[in-house]
Amino acid sequence: MIGRGTAGPVMVAMSGGVDSSVAAALLLEAGHEVIGVTLRLWGGESDSGCCAVSDVDDARRVADALGVDHHVFNLGDDFDRDVVGPYVDDHAAGRTPNPCIECNRHVKFGRLWQRARALGFNRLATGHHARVVVRSDGVRRIARATDPAKDQSYVLHMLGQDVLSGLLLPVGDLTKAEVRRRAAAFGLRTADKPDSQDVCFITNAHGRHDFLRQRISLTPGRVVDGAGIEVGSVDAVELVTVGQRKGMALAGGGTPRYAVHVDVPAATVRVGSACDLLVDTTPVEGFSWADCPVDGPVLVQTSAHGHVDPAVLDGDVVRWPAPRRRVAPGQSVVFYEGDEVVGGALAR
């Protein structure tokens, strides 16, 4: 089942993209026994992510070119239960979910890691742009990638010592341009393949509105200002995100107005100015830690490629040194020490 090598066996999660293709090739080149595994997660339409049938085919062909075994694991039930279901539930409750993070948490580094261990693998590799560093005390942490434009440490913030002890991230020290050059040098068909975009189960052709309306009742809502005066409407209050400016039928022009609060039970969105979005604190919940919980000064990132801001973590509240834009409920708030991830939580 496992190819020959001298540096020990590694299961490589191959999505069909260039990063995981090069990860497998680099490990093979380094003498590892490599087996490629592709996850079949979504049985519906997919034209923008990493769940299309063509992606499975690309991964298989790369594995063939490298001369390693390739297998497909059907984790569709796990994906539907732990990613798609919560995505729908969050929208129904007025939260803004991040399904890619939940897929990493529950499927790629949850169910897949369990299966890898059951099959006798102590090491799992992916094509994520991040690094695993070992501190002087032996604690492992996710750290930022060499290529800041492609850094994915934010979406891996939930990984603890169990996974980090066996995780390999072979492309984390390479820029994206270097990854593509390596792929071309290895003769891999994915060398020029575009990066996956957006949520894999939301198609460009039909979009989020169509996806959700097939699963929940979408509620037309009214838009009010800070005084409670009705100033517009929305087709579906469940689709509005805190901080959103477009997509609301607002009367009149003038100063731009943004969604500052979403109340799904009342079918109401409150809007205000950019200043009305500013807050001094962000309450958080659902913590996950690389090792031990931290408290006090941290660096905080609140979106996949957002700015990093200094703050103080005080229990279940992030305190900002100066007012900053509100974080939409449901979004991940990730804590760093320098370039190293110490943990994360969800805004509420």
Residues acting as catalytic residues: 103, 200
The tokens for 52 are 């299309």
CB 107 within 8 A of CB 82: yes
Give how far Cα 310 sits from Cα of 9, 99, 233, Å: 41, 26, 37
Print the SS3 string covering the chain: CCCCCCCCEEEEECCCCHHHHHHHHHHHHCCCEEEEEEEECCCCCCCCCCCCHHHHHHHHHHHHHHCCEEEEEECHHHHHHHHHHHHHHHHHCCCCCCHHHHHHHHHHHHHHHHHHHHCCCCCEECCCCCEEEECCCCCEEEECCCCHHHCCHHHHCCCCHHHHCCEECCCCCCCHHHHHHHHHHHCCCCCCCCCCCCCCCCCCCCHHHHHHHCCCCCCCEEEECCCCCEEEEECCHHHCCCCCCCCCEECCCCCCCEEEEEECCCCEEEEECHHHHEEEEEEEEEEEECCCCCCEEEEEECCCCCCEEEEEEECCEEEEEEEEECCCCCCEEEEEECCEEEEEEEEC
Least Cα distance to 270 among 239, 229, 321, 313 occurs for 229
Residue with tokens 């805190």: 242
